[in-house]
Structure 1
Amino acid sequence: MRWSGSARVLAQWLVLGAVVGVVCGVASAGFLWLLEEATRLRVGQPALVYALPLAGWVLGAVYARWGGPVRGGNNLVLDTVHTGDAQVPLRMAPMVLVGTVLTHLFGGSAGREGTAVQMGGSLADWVAHRFRVGVDLRRELLAAGIAGGFGSVFGTPVAGAVFGLEVVVVGRLGYEALLPALVASVVGDLVTRGLGTHHTVYPVPGALPLTLLVVGKWLVFAVGVAGVAVLFVEGMHRLKAWLERRVPWLPLRMAMGGTAVVLLWLWVGTDAYLGLGVPGILRAFQDPALPVSAFAWKLVFTVVTLGAGFLGGEVTPLFFIGASLGNVLARGLGLPVDLGAAVGMAAMFAAAANTPLALSIMAVELVGAGVLPHVMIVATVAYLLTGHRGIYPAQRIGRGKHGGPLLARWVALREMEEAREKPGPRGSAGPENHGSG
């Protein structure tokens, strides 16, 4: 009986994980094709950028009228994993897909991970409800949807699986969802590639022996990464909150954000900071004369775009910011530029998303195993230095990053942020007493 029960659970995970992987893979393939076409059209017709304010107005009107809970984005998916609330709306998948493609078509600085995760979560919850699974299995399938979306959109199936487990609770891996997450991520990646999708190929850095001096340089490097990650996270959250208070009507808020991006674009006089910015990431691996300000400009463009409410993710812009910052730090510290760009690219997102393990694995899948000891050091230290903040306020935390007692309950990062802004009485038992950073 025990063996038959285990076999039934195993078969259930394999079948449902594969179903989630297939729908995520098909969705990611279609999304990436549309994104590539939108980017090609914008590059060929730069005047499209002038229409970004109008696009913001239209997208804002659509989301204000029909968006509803869908506007919660990645945080809605994470909250649903924890609370088991009503189904993640199936309309989230097409709405975020279209919204993200239009954001990129008109030059907004955004990524693709957020869209992939939201599509994956929406489709996985649809599968869960179609098969009428229990509460626990539903949560595991939601984690699998996150993994399938992330792994298939970047072509990194192992990192996708670990990301789906690591992103839900800060400092904890949800091993109960390991098998369905791995199956969904691997199947999703196979389906996306099988449909003809080609992912970006990054340069492979040369080997660098790990010595005491090199470790010391990486520690300094990690401080720089953590500082910029905090600027990004705080900048995006604070701008979004400020705009929501001052301009409560979403269409106007997005139109204002689009206008700000157009003005920034005219000011800097280059298209380098629009859209995904993949050419800028590749340049950071190779150009020892990369402008020192490149990472700062991409940070500003992305914070304005996402803070105003445009659709998309943070990963690829954070890759740009991390790679270009890594290029600059490597030059200053006497490290290889290509290795600095690779380490910075992964560690920046690891610090901002509280996922050092997944991003260290992702770096290996993207640029080879030689990066592993270096990126693991930087990602871990930067993750600790950023404190209890992140790009996903719905992430939960059960114990402070720097140790201390377990919290009475898992606390959302948004609550930690509120505790920082409104400190309680000295000696109170609130989350601010557990190193909220």
Structure 2
Amino acid sequence: MTMPSLKTRQIYSIIRSKSLLPESPQFYVDLLVWFLLLTPIALAAGATCAFFMLALEHSIHFRFSHGWIIYLLPLAGMLVALLNTGVNRLSNQTEHLKGTLLHRLITVFNTLIKIPLAFFSAVMSNLFGASVGREGTALQMSANFADGLSHLFDLHAHKRKILIFAGVAAGFGAIFGTPVAGMLFVVEVTAFAGTLSYRSLLPCVYTAMISDTACGVITDFLHIKRLNQVIAAQPLFAGNWHFNGQNPLLLAKIFLAAVLFGIIGRIYMTGLSVSRDVFAKICKPAYLRPALGGILTLLLVLLCGSRDYLGLGVISSHPPAGASVIDFFAGANNGFDWAWKLIFTLICIGSGFRGGNVTPMFFIGAGLGCVLGPWIAPEAAPLFTGIGFVCVFCAALKTPITATIIAAEVFGTENLAYYAFACVIAFAVSGSVDRRPEWLEQMLQDHTGL
């Protein structure tokens, strides 16, 4: 027994001498602390996103079967805006207590109360027909839970920022079922802004993986399919439509399509900024802007003669002939659906409806790709629907790596070279990246002061 023990000590001594193991016990203490902080964030993000998707599914089907409810959209938007304004004002009434334990506890409560508020706001927006997404709410809920924990334990601003980033990665990975893309999304939006620390990589990938797993378990139990699962089940993916090996002519056609997708993505984000500014100028009270946006949305429904552009846009009330992300991947082609969705979304998000802006990007990109594919490359038409799906997202949010990984996680890796090529082209024509995204800027200012 002496020899093995001696050899074990010698091996351990050699490993330590070569700096293969951290010498300080503090390293292992810190690792345990991060594990205890990140695990509840990831589990909470996964569970919250699962029940959020359940609520959205029921609200959307309720709207499909009770069409009259869309006429309450202006009133619903105004009430949700008033609720959010009231909560935000209450959150700013405790500055005189700053530095006290009571202030910290109130801050934790104010941060956590925004989770059900964001949940309720997004569900109401989709229930009554506002053309908004859902990922913004998922990211906000996860980040607020992370920030609540950081305030509760009075963490330093740098650690607080890492927790918020980990929460964002968890929300993104859970809501779309794309954990690797969730981690890379945080890396990209912070790297371009110059705020990335490699210390955030491990927390982000850990929370994204755990939240995705938790959300998957709960959604399977609730019989809910996430976007990646629904798309994979469409007839479009049942056949042999993979194009292994790069075809120069097909690459040239993808190049032209990617340029157009990049331009649309740029128009989308610029349009959102312009829309917000216009609503702010013509309607000073913020709580009245959603009411005005709701009225304009109803007028657009009368003008286009369709309700397919209301709400999330993932499913339609009459598949597969309707206009939705799923219908596009099932082969539906209705011409200018993507353009109508763009207009509806600019009005709803610009006027202040809550939810997110990524899912409408998927609708717009897939819809435009569904139109372009049969026209410029009939032999590879399905490929263009998928390329449009990720390229508009890539161009709008300036995240080519994340978009490429989304394509891999949702569609598989058979055509990854085409997706990567298209995303880089779309990114190149989408404009420069000169500052942090607005949502990240606001989040960091509100929670960390960075």
* Partner SS, residue 284 of structure 2: coil
**Structure-2 separation of matches of 1:394 and 1:101:** 20
Q: Does 1:278 align with 2:314?
A: yes
Post-superposition Cα deviations, 1:275-327, rounded to whole Å, max 9, x if no partner, equal 1111311222232x612211101101111110000001111110000101111
Alpha-carbon separation, structure 1, partners of 2:29 and 2:413: 36
* 1:366 CA drift (Å): 1.1
Match 2:432 to one of 380, 388, 392: 388
Which amino acid in 1 is paired with 2:363?
F
Superposed displacement of residue 210, structure 1:
1.4
Cα deviation for residue 69 of structure 1 reads 9.8
Q: What stretches of structure 1 move > 4 A for 4+ residues in a row?
A: 68-71, 171-174
Instruction: Decide which of 300, 313, 319 is 2:362's aligned counterpart.
Output: 319
Output the amino acid matched with 1:17. Answer: L
- Contact preservation (8 Å) 2:190, 2:436: no
Equivalent-residue separation in structure 1 for 2:66 and 2:91 (angstroms): 31
The answer to whether the 8 A contact 1:128-1:141 is kept is yes
- Identify the residue that residue 241 of structure 2 maps to in structure 1: 206
CA RMSD of aligned residues (A): 2.3
Instruction: State TM-score, norm by structure 2.
Output: 0.79
SS in 2 for 1:369: coil
The answer on whether the counterparts of 1:14 and 1:183 sit within 8 Å (CA) in structure 2 is: no
Residue equivalent to 1:362: 406
Q: Partners in 1 of 2:45 and 2:309 — Cα distance? A: 29
Partner of residue 221 from structure 1, selected from 251, 254, 257: 257
Q: Distance in 1 between matches of 2:158 and 2:214?
A: 27
Contact 1:147 1:181 in 2 (8 A): yes
Alignment of 1:347 with 2:391, yes or no, is: yes
Which among 369, 374, 386 is matched to residue 331 of structure 1?
Answer: 374
**Structure 1 residue 227, shift from structure 2 partner:** 1.1
Give distance in 1, aligned partners of 2:168 and 2:216: 18
Shift of 1:109: 0.6
Greater mean alpha carbon deviation, residues 338-347 or residues 210-219: 210-219
Of 182, 185, 207, 2:205 maps to 182
Secondary structure in structure 2 of the residue aligned to 1:234: helix
- The runs of 5 or more residues in structure 2 that have no matched partner are 1-21, 93-106, 316-323, 442-450
CA distance in 1, matches of 2:325, 2:307: 14
Q: Any unmatched runs of 5+ in structure 1?
A: 72-85, 397-437
Q: Partner of 1:61 in structure 2?
A: 82
For residue 143 of structure 1, the aligned residue among 165, 172, 178 is 165
How big is each residue's C-alpha offset from its partner over 1:29-83, in whole Å with a ceiling of 9 and x where there is no partner?
Answer: 2211111111111011111111101111212222233234999xxxxxxxxxxxx
Give the CA deviation at 1:100.
0.5
Find the partner of 1:236 among 272, 283, 287.
272
Q: Which amino acid aligns with 1:183?
A: Y
Equivalent-residue separation in structure 1 for 2:90 and 2:167 (angstroms): 18
- 1:107 equivalent to 2:129? Answer yes
- C-alpha contact (below 8 Å) 1:28/1:153 kept by paired residues: yes
Distance 1:224 1:60, change over 3 A: same
Take 1:243 and 1:237, find their aligned partners in 2: how far apart are those partners?
10
Higher helix share: 2
Q: What is residue 335 of structure 2 aligned with on the other side?
A: 292
Give deviations 1:383-422, integer Å, cap 9, x for gaps: 12111369933557xxxxxxxxxxxxxxxxxxxxxxxxxx
Query: Secondary structure of 1:168's match?
Result: helix
Is the 1:286–1:338 contact (alpha carbons within 8 Å) kept by the matching residues of 2?
Answer: no
Report if aligned partners of 1:285, 1:337 keep a CA contact under 8 Å in 2: no
| 8 Å CA contact 1:169, 1:395 repeated in 2 | no
Mapped contact 1:16–1:180 kept (Cα < 8 A): no
> Which one-letter code corresponds to 2:266 in the other structure?
V
Contact 2:293–2:347 under 8 Å retained in 1: yes
Q: What is the alpha-carbon distance in structure 1 between the residues aligned to residue 84 and residue 361 of structure 2?
A: 25
Residue 152 of structure 2: aligned partner: 130
Distance 1:262 1:295 in 2: 18
Q: Structure 1: how far apart are the matches of 2:334 and 2:155?
A: 53
Q: Which amino acid aligns with 1:393?
A: E
CA distance in 1 between counterparts of 2:143 and 2:201 reads: 16
Residue 10 of structure 1 aligns with which residue?
A: 31
Residue aligning to 1:399 = none
Q: Which residue of 1 aligns with 2:97?
A: none
TM-score (norm 1): 0.82
- Contact 1:284-1:338 at 8 Å conserved across structures: no
CA distance in 2, matches of 1:106, 1:148: 28
1:342 Cα offset (Å): 0.9
Q: Note closer, same or farther for the CA distance 1:358–1:171 as it changes in structure 2 (3 Å cut).
A: farther
The equivalent position to 1:191 in structure 2, one of 211, 214, 229, is 214
Q: Percent identity?
A: 31
Is residue 21 of structure 1 aligned with residue 42 of structure 2? yes
Whether the 8 Å CA contact 1:284–1:327 is kept in 2: the answer is yes
The alpha-carbon distance between structure 1 residues 12 and 337, as it changes in their structure 2 partners (threshold 3 A), is farther
Indicate which of 183, 187, 207 corresponds to 1:165: 187
Corresponding residue pairs, total: 381
The residue matched to 2:64 in structure 1 has which SS? helix
- 161-170 or 385-394: bigger deviation: 385-394
